[in-house]
Structure 1
Amino acid sequence: MRPLTDQDPRELGGYRLLARLGQGGMGRVYLAEDRRGALAALKVVHPERAHDPEFRRRFAREVRLAARVHGPGVASVTGADPDAETPWLAAEFVSGPTLSEAIARHGELPAEACRALAEQLAEALTAVHATGLVHRDLKPSNVILGADGARLIDFGIALATDESAITRTGQTPGTAGYIAPEVLLGGAAGPAADVFALGALLAFAAQGRHPYGSGPEAVLMARPLAADPDLSGITDVKLAALLRRALAREPAHRPSLAEFAGLADLGTAGGGSWIPPSLLDDIGRRTHEVTTRTRPRRATAPEPHPPTAMDGPAPGTRRAPDGPGTSPAPPGPQRRHFTRRGVLGLGAATAAAGAAAWLINENTALGPAPKILWRHAMKGPAFDPLVTRDTVYAISEEDGLVALDIRTGAQRWHRSLNGSLAGPVLGNGMLYHSGGNRLTALDSRSGATRWSVPLPGEQGHAMIPGPDLLYMPDEPVRALDATDGSARWSYAHDPSHPGIVQGLLWRNALFVYSLSYVDRVDATTGKRVWRAEVEAAQDLAISDGTLYVSHFGGVSLLNPVDGTVRKTLTRDKFPVFDIAVAGRALCIDDMADDRVHGLDALTGEERWSADLGKHTFLSELDGGALAVTSDTMVCAVDAGTGVVRWRLHDTGTTSTPVIANGVVYVGTERRGLLALSAATSA
């Protein structure tokens, strides 16, 4: 993955481009996100190709065929426009290596993994064939291994059973060594041809080498016609026998996909439990790199801000326990809505849950619709508002930053953010935002520019405001004077992984973390106090004298004073993404099962788990509650028991609800920013 350059677009078809994933002869592939924050792999056609009518016809065909396929093990198409000036295709993004990369780095897969892979790919091909398609290019580089299993990609030369091949004269569709003999002889590519390719792919995975050896393309093309496959490296007798049948020269002698699906041992096929530990580590590092590299962009969901003394707290809110200098950490992996530490500007969660009739209580009937006190229309999805004593700041990509009267919603002032929503963050009477290689501080009262200083690079930067300094957890980590933006200190945290450093401010300690380390840095001087080695740290939380670090494989409890590890809570070999500590409950988003779990914060004993949707993002509320957003809901959960206090389903909300003095402020996708009465009647 590489950062965008000046030549790369920043938006295409409603997708925001985040980084380069790779490129080939037909175009470039980007990591992108849609308006809801879902990640996608966006394939963009090279401009010179876009002017070729024949290529456009082939690309439009790929889009049409790929969009037909849905099912387990297939990276589904999420959007496309083959008729655009620059044609593009977006598909579900899977974080992980291709099978070819995995074998090159980690060697052949064990028998159990090969069986599980066989079942998953057989299910994927069954879904493909059920739509009347033949993939025709199944090979290791077209299979991605993610933490939740394998995904089949690239339908560039797929063939519908109701059409003829459109390959150019003299060309054989597919890749040498994976093309079935009948296709090599000029026959049709039917479903049995995909079975042949699946056999060759699994033989490669099980041995670490191709069953027809290596050599020039012409030699590899000829071998399946004349030579028997070499399966001598496969020790699993049942697997070897099935693969030998799959590689039969006669299509009628090959097994059905159902026979592959029956290979997997019970309990190993689902999810990623079959993936070897070294490969899981690789997937975890890639996932961490994706999530952390996208965090500066995800700061577009501005942090619900812990009011400083200068700003004045919002009515009905309280300060964070550690004082006004405590700042929230940057937003968490592949999420848009909630911030982590710090005050959310919420009143007592119990009172809010009981009074807000517009939220669906788990144990009562749906209450009446809420009274809309005011609404501020916005051109695009409204992100998390910022709330102070008398002002609500509404933010969207299209509208920029809008200051509104907290009582009436009347607009006080408006500022364009020039397409950059890295931040804004609020502190010291100023709103800070970065983008277009500049950091700008705005007066929170008037919106006037207080100062602006240059920054390295074009991308937005994550920011953590302190009482005197503004911290930028990049590589190197930098501290700027909050009053004028002048440099105060810099700290080289992990130069081997630039651009994926994050941070958490607590009292006079700045904790910075990346792929390999968690460091405590003196927030005033920038000097390192201690360093702890942690593999692929994902999130930090601090409570009652304990620093909680979620990482690949679990959560570690560290002494924040000296960095010693007090306890590690193992959660299989999967990344634990978001964590939140509410009272004595440690709540985690566990990628292993897509559930939220509540643990005892001291012992790690599990108290509850709940299915609250996918892509969950956690944050503490008052009153021992946990705020959760996911792809299906926004809800408040009792952190001690897992009981849902209230939930709001499918409303098009794009932000955390911020509650202050009996009013709920919530950003939506289509209705702008709403101020709703928390009273029980409209």
Structure 2
Amino acid sequence: MQPLGFGDPIRLGPYRIAGVLGEGGMGKVYAGQDSSGRLAAVKVLRPELAHNRDLAQRFLREARTAQAVTSTGVARVVGSQTEGGRPWIATEYLSGPTLEQAITDHGPLDDVGVRALAGALASTLQEIHAVGLIHRDLKPANIVLTSSGPRIIDFGIARPEHGLTLTTTGQAPATPGYGAPEQILGQRVSPSADVFSLGAVLVYAASGRRAYEGAHVAAVQYEVVHGSPALHAVPQALRALIAPCLAKEPAHRPHPSAVVKAFTPPRGADRFWRKGTLGRQIKEHEARTDQLTTASGTTVPGVRPSRRLFLTSLAAGGAVLAVGGGATAWWLNRGPDLPEAADAAPAELLTSGEYERGVPPTPLWGPLKAAAPSASMLLPVRDVVMIAGLSGGITAHRVTDGRQKWTLPRVSPSAGVLRLTDEQFVAADATGNVLAFDASTSEQRWSVPASAQKLLATAPDASLVYFLTNDDEVAAVDTEGRKVRWTAGAPAGISVDPAAVAGAGPGRLVVCTADGQYFALDSATGDVAWQLGGHAGTALTPAIEERIVYVGGKSLLALDLETGDEVWSASSQSLNPDQDGWGSPVTTDDFIAAIDDGRLYRVDKASGTDDGHISWLDGTLPSRTPPVVQGHTLWIIEGGTSSGVSAFGNTPGSESDGDLLWTYEPESDGPWHAAGADNRVFLLNKGSLVALPVF
């Protein structure tokens, strides 16, 4: 790790930056540590690239997509955000050398090592593909060897399965010699492309030589497309197993499950990573991780920091890649329990289908009678979606299949729950204490004595949790200091009650009261920064992005977050904007989506101009309900005489942009509640919970 230099940040989101792990043409990777002592690798896009809006948005969009992967065989994405105009992605911190480093230092793996590596990587690829993703850049530098086995890192160019290969000018879709030929040609890429990359990785692991070599990139490309892989240095017993993975035709490559079966290692192979020369090298990396944790000086007493070191490569983007030999007997003689094609889609895939116009998609799971009929709480975090339990407290259901995972009976649902980080959420108990929990396990992380009546918002860097007290004042909990930082009253003449809603941005908390009064408090002191009175007729949730806050009401306003000064205004088309004006807005890539007078509009972020309403449902859309953005769709809750949830196309320039795709309205009336995450939208209606796929 290198020390920080001029221009390097000292903090990114919840992470205190300790040093530089590496850098490349796209950006830098820093070692960071959060308030609980956990280490992470934080990858930041270079400043000159951050100004490219398309690249910056894709950087964060793909990070959010990759968060759907919860396999233990990957370095999971644990956070992503734009800060100071520069997007960053945080991933797990792993302890161990990359496969490339290990082979360079100690030579090829033996038969047991290659079989253990192949089985572990193929199993992880199955889990990656099961959530609709393709890694697209599997290579020795993107595999970290830890004491618990190999882990796949860097989802920098991972994309949903249905996506074409996309690159910026001058970039190649993957690393030369490891990518599949269809990636080179810009064709549709299936999961079998990762199987090809796996084959090239195994050639390197078994022989210490690349499967395809050449004097320059073009020569490697030629060998990949027209030549055969160099397998002469691979032991004969392994050669017949690896060759099918390098088939030129995607359909001739084995499914990852077939790879797992074919490479079955001997009993006890899982200990391979903890013994011998390689085991000692991994232990050395773990020792350096411990030193890094100690040196950073931020470990929270009583919390054991993660012993994981993320070693990654930020390449500028390599060239085009690879194909290989034909299938051999072990693949052709696969058992009847294996898929008929290498790219056969697992049942869990979410993103490879298409909507049928006018027909709601089949639910992934549910409806489940899981909550009280009046329940409205709905929050997906990590691998669970949380609701108010039937018998009190909150209950978490797995996002993949809807099965109940845990319950917290002592948590008060009426106070609400909020996402704190991509791994943690905050809640309150019956006495008003503010509590933080691990979303996946429900393990309590910390508790702060308070008098919380309702949780309002969390700061973007997870440093503060804002709440309404039992005395109807606003307060903030310092998540690092584990104490209430300040308590403040509303501006004179404004009253706050549990119907109030809020949003938080850098340095500000913006509150909207039950009668539509907006005001902003300074995050550091609780002092009133600005206020906007009489603008709305009800509580409307503000949308905050970087230094701008968007608010609904008599007009849709973009305000400077720090000062409250108007940036632009969009008038309401309603004859009575006091009652039927702009509702709660939500931000998309380039637009603000909001409902005005029962119609859904999309408004340009920069100018406030709209491209016309994109829906007309006879004024049935309730103005106060913010749309849900997920994938290439906008989901809205209907009101009036209708009841249900509708999805609209949200891909500017496409044929279906702005069109009503379908409406989901089973035999139940409102109210409906919706939340989206990881290519899923969760709906709650009178205690019934259902998950729908997003394409």
User: What TM-score results when the alignment is normalised by the length of structure 2?
Assistant: 0.43
What TM-score do you get using the length of structure 1 for normalisation?
0.44
